[in-house]
Amino acid sequence: MDSDPFVLDVRLNGTDFVTGLVDSGCLCYSAINEQLFRSLRLPSIKIAPRQLEEAAGKNAEPSTVLDTVTYASIDIDGHQQKRVFFYVVPGLTYDVILGKPWLEDADVTISAKQGCLDIGASNIRAWNHKKASYKPPLMKATQVMASAFMAEVRRSRRKNKGDGIALDTGLFA
């Protein structure tokens, strides 16, 4: 009856990769672990205290009071948002939780069987890292000295007489 969570990499402020849980049952836009919030020294915005309501209801023990919001830019496999607000939650199991309002705002469609989500706002597909079938895409990349690359660019410009460049990538393999 249990399943693996939908987990993906989220880059915060263009520097730090953290674990993000996609949770369509979470009614807030997003939440961040208090310890991570402090270690990244994110801005702190005080709000009127409110009790965290869980699936068990407001009277569930122990109750957590939220009194801080923060913000950061996020990048999920190329989908970028400049400013996302997060509730700061002490003892949060995941670094970041992206809730139902975020899913709606980013126009996300989840394919649970495939283990991916499509972000309609930017036409990006992100994969669940906990899904057994997840395999990062293979990329062939070769390091090339800048001088060799620029020589090929100049050669291409001369050949195309200023009509753009067409690099022969086979030269770099």
pLDDT 10s digits, 58-107: 655 567 889 999 999 999 999 999 999 999 999 999 999 999 999 999 99
When computed from its CA atoms, the radius of gyration of the chain, rounded to whole angstroms, is 22
Structure token digits, residue 24? 């369509």
Within a 10 A sphere around the Cβ of 51, how many other Cβ atoms?
12
Domain that holds residue 90: 6-127
Asked if the structure places residue 158 within a domain, the reply is yes
What CATH number did the domain enclosing 100 receive? 2.40.70.10
The amino acid that residue 43 corresponds to is P
Residues 172, 144: Cα–Cα separation, whole Å: 7
What is the per-residue pLDDT for 71?
Answer: 98
Asked if the structure places residue 1 within a domain, the reply is no
Q: What is the reported pTM?
A: 0.74
Our count of domains for the chain comes to: 2
Residue ranges in the chain whose pLDDT is less than 50: none
96 lies in the same domain as 158? no
Asked if the structure places residue 85 within a domain, the reply is yes
What is the per-residue pLDDT for 78?
Answer: 92
What is the per-residue pLDDT for 62?
Answer: 67
113 lies in the same domain as 56? yes
59 lies in the same domain as 102? yes
91 lies in the same domain as 163? no
DSSP at 113: T
